[in-house]
């Protein structure tokens, strides 16, 4: 099956939190951290986040707590650090540290003739601004890698893994409604999201909507097996 476009996340894929801004945030509560530890702190935070159930209450705090611990924040200042990170996220777009190799990877995708859409969950609706400030990409022509669109959860009003995020991305690249291959992709995106959300009836309905010529494909049959046939 030919590839027409690539959908890519922003935070943790293209960019990470800016070291200087985060270090200053901790310094504001009287805690000094080594900026060299902060990339690792993000991945420690994501590891803690990934152990949670989808949409579990307090997920953002779980990430920030693990982040602060890995950054070296003392236990007796941990809650202060979590609050400081929460204020930072609410007020400042600080995901502007480019991940090494991220821009080069997007350049390679573009050179292959593929369209790119960034699909990101944010709290402030500023994903496009942050990745542009990082020198990674921008929507349309510009100094960095051009992408077709940035689908931002705070702007759309829905967040991954909600299928609406991916539907918006497909709409941005003008996927024809009658394109069966892209319909397959759309419905399997939806299936995967509904399974993460523990909504098996909706997941089954997503597979039922796959075009007839793909109902016996491995892509579909493997997913039906997850539902018990």
Q: Which long-range contacts (CB under 8 A, 24 or more apart) does 101-106 make?
A: 102/13, 102/14, 102/15, 102/136, 103/14, 103/135, 103/136, 103/137, 103/144, 103/145, 106/8, 106/14, 106/136, 106/137, 106/145, 106/147
Q: pTM of the prediction?
A: 0.81
Distance CA 173, CA 116 (A): 8
| Tokens (6 digits) for 154 | 């705070």
Boundary residue ending a domain (66, 94, 122): 94
Domain count, the chain: 2
If asked whether residues 110 and 182 sit together in one domain, one would say yes
Query: Exposure of 218 by Cβ count < 10 A (0-12 exposed, 13-18 middle, 19+ buried)?
Result: exposed
Report yes or no: 206 and 190 within 8 Å, Cβ to Cβ.
yes
If asked whether residues 60 and 127 sit together in one domain, one would say no
pLDDT tens profile 75-107? 999 999 999 999 999 999 999 999 999 999 999
If asked whether residues 57 and 119 sit together in one domain, one would say no
Structural domain span for residue 161? 5-9+98-226
If asked whether residues 113 and 176 sit together in one domain, one would say yes
Q: Taking the CA of residue 135 as centre, how many other CA atoms within 13 Å lie in the half-sphere pointing to its CB? A: 6
**Strands 115-120 vs 137-139: parallel, antiparallel or unpaired:** unpaired
If asked whether residues 130 and 220 sit together in one domain, one would say yes
Distance CA 143, CA 21 (A): 24
- Looking at mean pLDDT, say which of 105-114, 172-181, 189-198 comes out highest: 105-114
Q: With a cut of 80, say whether residue 55 has pLDDT above it.
A: no
Contacts of 117 (CB under 8 A, 6+ apart): 5, 6, 7, 8, 147, 148, 149, 150, 151, 169, 172, 173
* Residues 126, 127, 131, 132, Cα dihedral to 10°: -50
Q: What is the residue-averaged pLDDT of the chain?
A: 91
If asked whether residues 111 and 205 sit together in one domain, one would say yes
Pick 171 or 142 by higher pLDDT.
142
Report yes or no: 81 and 69 within 8 Å, Cβ to Cβ.
no
Domain containing residue 157: CATH number: 3.40.50
Distance CA 49, CA 52 (A): 6
If asked whether residues 126 and 221 sit together in one domain, one would say yes
* Residues 15, 19, 21, 23, Cα dihedral to 10°: 150
Quick one: average pLDDT of 212-221? 90
If asked whether residues 171 and 114 sit together in one domain, one would say yes
Distance CA 8, CA 137 (A): 12
Boundary residue ending a domain (40, 64, 94): 94
If asked whether residues 74 and 142 sit together in one domain, one would say no
pLDDT tens profile 107-158? 999 999 999 999 999 999 999 999 999 999 999 999 999 999 999 999 999 9
Boundary residue ending a domain (48, 74, 94): 94
| Tokens (6 digits) for 224 | 């039906």
If asked whether residues 219 and 137 sit together in one domain, one would say yes
What region does 150 belong to: left with phi over 0, alpha with psi -120 to 50, or beta?
beta
If asked whether residues 189 and 82 sit together in one domain, one would say no
If asked whether residues 73 and 173 sit together in one domain, one would say no
With CA atoms as reference, report the closest residue to 88 among 26, 147, 162.
26
Provide the pLDDT for residue 177: 55
């Amino acid at each position: 099956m030919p590839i027409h476009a690539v959908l890519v996340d922003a935070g943790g894929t293209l960019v990470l939190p800016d070291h200087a801004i985060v270090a200053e945030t901790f310094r504001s509560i009287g805690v000094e951290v080594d900026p060299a530890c902060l990339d690792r702190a993000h991945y420690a935070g994501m590891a803690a986040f990934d152990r949670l159930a989808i949409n579990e209450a307090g997920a953002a705090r779980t990430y920030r707590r693990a982040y602060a611990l890995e950054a070296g924040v003392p236990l007796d200042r941990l809650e202060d650090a979590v609050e400081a990170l929460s204020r930072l996220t609410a007020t400042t777009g600080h995901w502007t540290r480019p991940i090494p190799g991220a821009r080069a990877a997007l350049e390679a995708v573009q050179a292959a003739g593929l369209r790119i859409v960034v699909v990101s969950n944010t709290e402030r609706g500023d994903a496009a601004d942050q990745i542009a400030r990082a020198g990674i990409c921008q929507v349309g022509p510009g100094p960095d890698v051009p992408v077709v669109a940035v689908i931002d959860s705070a702007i759309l009003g829905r967040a991954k893994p909600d299928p609406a995020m991916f539907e918006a991305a497909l709409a941005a690249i003008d996927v024809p409604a009658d394109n069966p291959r892209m319909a397959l992709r759309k419905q399997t995106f939806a299936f995967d999201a509904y399974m993460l959300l523990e909504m098996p009836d909706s997941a089954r309905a997503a597979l039922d909507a796959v075009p007839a010529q793909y109902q016996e494909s491995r892509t579909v049959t493997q997913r039906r097996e997850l539902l018990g046939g």
